[in-house]
Chains A and B, each alone.
Chain A
């Protein structure tokens, strides 16, 4: 038949990789080295991974830019100040409240990307804001991951009543409207701070959006983890450990958990991307990072009211946000294809 040989070569996408994995397995390559090899071959993913690293590094270098180039601080207002551009004196903020646009290098690096309504240097705030956005994204993703692994492990391993309770808990969390809940908690805590026993958080603490975002995504990750644990606990190596008299927690953490690694890694990158997006949405609705601290979301929120007279206030932080999230998504996509092509990772809401 004419189509018969064609099917071999028309293997595409994940299926093709699985076929490849089988072939490679014959040559004795482990799944991790195989994944790494595939990732190395995915130039686009690597490129965006590198872009993300560059973005992170530049945000880390924020104080350097503020000190050496812009010669200001992140929250310093320059409402009544002037700068000299091409020998002419210009108001940082006009009498009608319109801030100066991007100056690039015309003012020796001051107001490289323009000023905001308070006459603060947008470039400086962009970099510092990036720090906040990234810290929130990464720490929230860590919290989600830790909680999801924990809940998924005990739920999937013990089954029975434990499982029922945890699944009900996840159902309830899943059914909470994410944004309403996030904004409500954000607003309430910003008003009064947060007191849990000896722990006291001020209303403007970054930990508040971090905790909110960290909790929100738990059901999205805990459910697939639980499913995986359910099947792993029946595997021979778990049986063997059990036969040797290992306790349930030892089995969970030393035998089962390492096998969750590829799922966790795939989830983790995409979780960061989504946490950053959610943070920006919360900040846009006034419940994320509290002023005067910048984040990309709060900067967009401040900008949209001035989109006609000062479009840079909206466009600049938005582009930065999109670029970062895109870099994480493309890289995460590559990692998934490399490690676990059939993984159904889903976070968007």
Chain B
């Protein structure tokens, strides 16, 4: 087990390294204008542009530039080309917001998906099942920025039921915090609810026909006990795995659209703004941040899986 974990950690480091190299080189190879000229702002002189070029080392070869940039990532000295504000601080400022959104939405989608999936499976083939199937497929088909914008305007502003976007810290007012996040949570969760309830339904239907379930029924356990103790428990394993992966993916970029629509100013929105301006340092940092969450959750899921199923360790 220990060796497996170590191998998995090495893999993590390798992937992160590859992501950083690729991101860096992509943005230095493709044409996007001279960063020194862009940083110099309105009507600069040639001397200024030269000075910036020297200070930032834009004349060095790419490998040296990459090393300089990565050093700055680790020492926290990385600053935006445009605003000269430290990138690390901006990410830390956005992190509670992104995590508030992602964690809340993850809990919401898991909870609702279990209810939907269970009910759907128990009524398999009946009207309720078909109805929920269609609802789930609609959920999968809704672009989050579209439904989010509609919700924000019609439910938030027009009807006045919810705040029209924005964020309040949890420490300041937990109720207001949740109140501000209800719409974003819902918008983000819709897609996953649709998907998870479908997966759970088919897992349950698979499990129902397993021998041990029949045995449990034969033992005279009530349908409810069978469902919860045997069927649901075993159908949940792949779902929890997915949950881990998706949580990583949402923190690592999936929340961009939701944050932008609801103006939550988390890490995702920061990334979206930096990317629009091709501001390389924040793009690199947010990409690494995102990749880190994706890779980390992947590793955790793998390790937990290996713990549950020793065969995997040998692969």
Contacts and interface: CB of A to CB of B under 8 A. Distances in A.
| Touch A–B, Cβ below 8 Å | yes
A14 B149 CA distance: 37
Interface in B273-287: 275-276, 278, 283, 286-287
B31 interface: yes
Interface stretch (B165-173, B203-211, B304-312): B203-211
B257 A284 contact: yes
Interface in A323-349: 325-326, 329-330, 333, 342, 344, 346, 348-349
* Chain A binding surface, main DSSP class: helix
Interface string A219-243: 0000000000000000000000000
Interface stretch (A103-111, A178-186, A255-263): A178-186
Contact of B252 (A177, A188, A318): A177
A10 interface: yes
B153 A326 contact: no
A280 B275 contact: no
B153 A281 contact: no
Interface in B1-48: 11, 14-16, 18-19, 22-23, 26-27, 30-33
A13 interface: yes
Interface stretch (B83-91, B93-101, B289-297): B289-297
B143 interface: yes
Interface string A1-25: 1011001001111110000000000
A294 to B, nearest CB: 16
Contacts of B31: 188, 191-193
Interface residues of B, number: 67
B195 interface: yes
Contact of B290 (A1, A12, A180, A194): A180
Interface string A299-332: 0100010011000001100100110011001100
B145 interface: yes
Contacts of B15: 168, 171-172, 175
Given A3-B217, A7-B214, A192-B30, A177 B287 contact: yes
Contacts of A184: 26-27, 275, 278, 283, 287
A189 B134 CA distance: 38
B143 A321 contact: yes
Q: How large is the interface on A (under 10, 10 to 19, 20 to 34, 35 or more residues)?
A: 35 or more
B287 A284 contact: no
Contacts of B32: 188, 191-192
B256 interface: yes
Contacts of A249: none
A286 interface: yes
Contact of B19 (A1, A4, A172, A307): A172
A326 B205 contact: no
Contact of A330 (B137, B238, B283): B137
Given A10-B208, A318-B143, A177 B275 contact: no
Given A7-B209, A180-B253, A180-B286, 11 more contacts: A13-B201, A15-B209, A177-B294, A183-B276, A184-B27, A188-B32, A192-B31, A285-B257, A300-B146, A304-B261, A346-B242
17 contacts: A7-B214, A12-B208, A13-B124, A175-B291, A179-B257, A180-B271, A187-B276, A188-B27, A188-B278, A192-B32, A280-B146, A285-B260, A304-B145, A321-B146, A322-B141, A329-B141, A348-B195
